[in-house]
Amino acid sequence: MKSLCLVTVGVLAMTLLIASISLLVAHVFQRVVDLQVKQGTVLKNGTETFEAWEDPPPPVYMQFYFFNVTNPLEVLQGDTPLVEEIGPYTYREYRPRVHVQFLDNGTKVSALNPKTYVFEPQKSVGDPEVDLIRTINIPAVTAMEWTRSTPLQFATEVLLLLYQESLFTIRTVHELLWGYKDRLLSTIHLLHPEIDPVFGFFNKMNGTDDGEYVFLSGETNYLNFSRIVEWKGKESLSWWTTEECNMINGTDGTSFHPLISKDENIYIFSSDFCRSLYLVYDSSGMVSGIPTYRFVPSAMVFANTTVNPDNAGFCVPPGNCPGTGVLNVSICKQGAPIFLSAPHFYQADQKFVEDVEGMHPQKEYHETFLDINPLTGLVLRAAKRMQINVHVRKLPEFFETGNIRTLVFPVMYINESVLIDEVSANKLKHVLLEASVVTGIPFVIMALGIVFGIVFIVLVCRSRGISEEGREVLIDSE
């Protein structure tokens, strides 16, 4: 009977150990979890995934920082501009998706994404309706660039003198953001109705959307979850000079497919940048006690053409490339000489930093990043940081430009950030705990195998001990 028990325990221990190792090698339970995650990450009406995508619960904040010019007269004489950063002016951003429609048997979803901004005085340095900023007079600069060497050049000069416009203007933060009626643009509007008489960086962008998007639902392939396939009724852009640069790649940056690996590129389409871009793995971390991978824009995205020849398509007109870290988007901004970069020209050519006194690029404050949970693809923390600059130069046809140097002049930058809320974090922790329990089953089996193995060894040792004692007694009796 004892032998039978001994054999049973030994066989059970060996079986459990072999089973656990086989399950670990085959990743059986990990595959079960992966399959559940894939099946659950689909845009389908009535699901938690769809509800979170339609109206994301974590609060989004938009912070605006302005560069106030402190030496305008010296700049017109050719000196280095001196700017002072003023901000943040913080707004809560509400961005629900509306007019959602399912297309092609649920494989695609169309939606509008209007954004509404509400001022948050407690998170701001001042009152945007009162605080004044001296900056580049973008309507005047744009009008001069539009009309130089054209029959309208003289008329523009007359209007600039009549309205006493100069290269710099003083406006409130509210006017610069949400718009003010510009006299010069109002006159041009009479001849060209397509020109808006109101100028503001976010003019007509509060409570409005940037066009209809069509997303893939992830129904047929989890890798396509929330990937954009159309924007404004088109499958590609038309601003740039190559097919690759005009591609609409990736999601809108608010959601991603599950099961993200460190060696993949994360693609995002941004209508603010007028292009698609990609991010690469940077580091691993924790947000609210949840594991994350941090992705940041690749250095190749805004590299000059000698480093990344593929970026030649973003040089408009062809061959007109501003340098590393800066993107000329005038072609998609009605011809206004707008150049985009990271705040304080972070990771841009050093010449841009040195051309303006007051630039202090720092990774911590000026880098765009995404902290994503790799299992679910959920964004736990993110910051989109973008600087708006104006290309200025001396135009002999217009005395208003004085002797100013040719500069990419910083005007303002934004920090659009999000951090997962406590309720959403607790839900995600529960999901991850369940996944850990399932994937931990082989280790439980292995532990049981080890326990039974120890029991088996103890029983063997004890049975041998009893046998030896019996022999000694037998020898003594003889």
- Distance (Å, rounded) from C-alpha 293 to C-alpha 283? 6
Out of 234-243, 377-386, 458-467, least confident range: 458-467
- pLDDT of 446: 61
Please determine, for residue 473, whether its predicted confidence score (pLDDT) is greater than 60: no
Based on DSSP, count helices (H) and strands (E) in the chain, helices before strands.
12, 19
Q: Quick one: pLDDT band at residue 274, thresholds 50, 70, 90? A: very high
Specify the amino acid at residue 203.
N
DSSP 3-state of 402:
coil
In contact, 40 and 434? CB cutoff 8 Å:
no
Q: Quick one: pLDDT band at residue 380, thresholds 50, 70, 90? A: very high
Q: Quick one: pLDDT band at residue 320, thresholds 50, 70, 90? A: confident
Out of 8-12, 34-38, 271-275, 420-424, least confident range: 8-12
Please determine, for residue 21, whether its predicted confidence score (pLDDT) is greater than 90: no
- Distance (Å, rounded) from C-alpha 319 to C-alpha 387? 23
Burial tier of 471 (Cβ tally within 10 Å: 0-12, 13-18, 19+)? exposed
- Distance (Å, rounded) from C-alpha 23 to C-alpha 441? 9
- pLDDT of 77: 94
- pLDDT of 453: 63
Out of 47-51, 284-288, 387-391, 434-438, least confident range: 434-438
- pLDDT of 316: 84
Using a CB cutoff of 8 Å and minimum separation of 24, what contacts does 5-14 make?
5/459, 6/456, 6/459, 6/460, 6/463, 9/452, 9/455, 9/456, 9/459, 10/456, 12/449, 12/452, 13/449, 13/450, 13/451, 13/452, 13/453, 13/455, 13/456, 14/449, 14/453
Out of 48-57, 314-323, 429-438, least confident range: 429-438
In contact, 324 and 302? CB cutoff 8 Å:
yes
- 131-158 confidence digits (pLDDT tens): 999 999 999 999 999 888 888 888 888 8
Give the DSSP per-residue string, 306-320.
TT-GGGGGG-SSTT-
Report the Cα 47 to chain-centroid distance in Å: 25
- 461-472 confidence digits (pLDDT tens): 766 655 555 555
Using a CB cutoff of 8 Å and minimum separation of 24, what contacts does 420-426 make?
420/58, 420/287, 420/288, 420/290, 420/378, 420/379, 420/380, 420/381, 421/57, 421/58, 421/59, 422/288, 423/57, 424/52, 424/57, 424/58, 425/288, 425/289, 425/290, 425/380
Please determine, for residue 362, whether its predicted confidence score (pLDDT) is greater than 60: yes
Out of 247-261, 289-303, 458-472, least confident range: 458-472
Out of 44-58, 84-98, 427-441, least confident range: 427-441
- Distance (Å, rounded) from C-alpha 374 to C-alpha 372? 6
- Give the mean pLDDT of 310-320: 87
- Give the mean pLDDT of 386-402: 93
Out of 2-16, 31-45, 76-90, least confident range: 2-16
- Give the mean pLDDT of 41-65: 91
What is the percent of the chain where pLDDT is above 90?
Answer: 63
Element holding 187 (H helix, E strand): helix 183-191
- Distance (Å, rounded) from C-alpha 193 to C-alpha 221? 46
Please determine, for residue 474, whether its predicted confidence score (pLDDT) is greater than 50: no
Please determine, for residue 32, whether its predicted confidence score (pLDDT) is greater than 70: no
Which residues partner with 135 through β-bridges?
Answer: 169
Q: Quick one: pLDDT band at residue 180, thresholds 50, 70, 90? A: very high
Please determine, for residue 8, whether its predicted confidence score (pLDDT) is greater than 70: no
Question: Which residue carries 């396509």 as its tokens?
Answer: 224
In contact, 264 and 248? CB cutoff 8 Å:
no
First-to-last CA distance in the chain? 29
- Give the mean pLDDT of 379-403: 94
* More confident site: 214 or 46: 214
- pLDDT of 151: 85
Please determine, for residue 49, whether its predicted confidence score (pLDDT) is greater than 80: yes
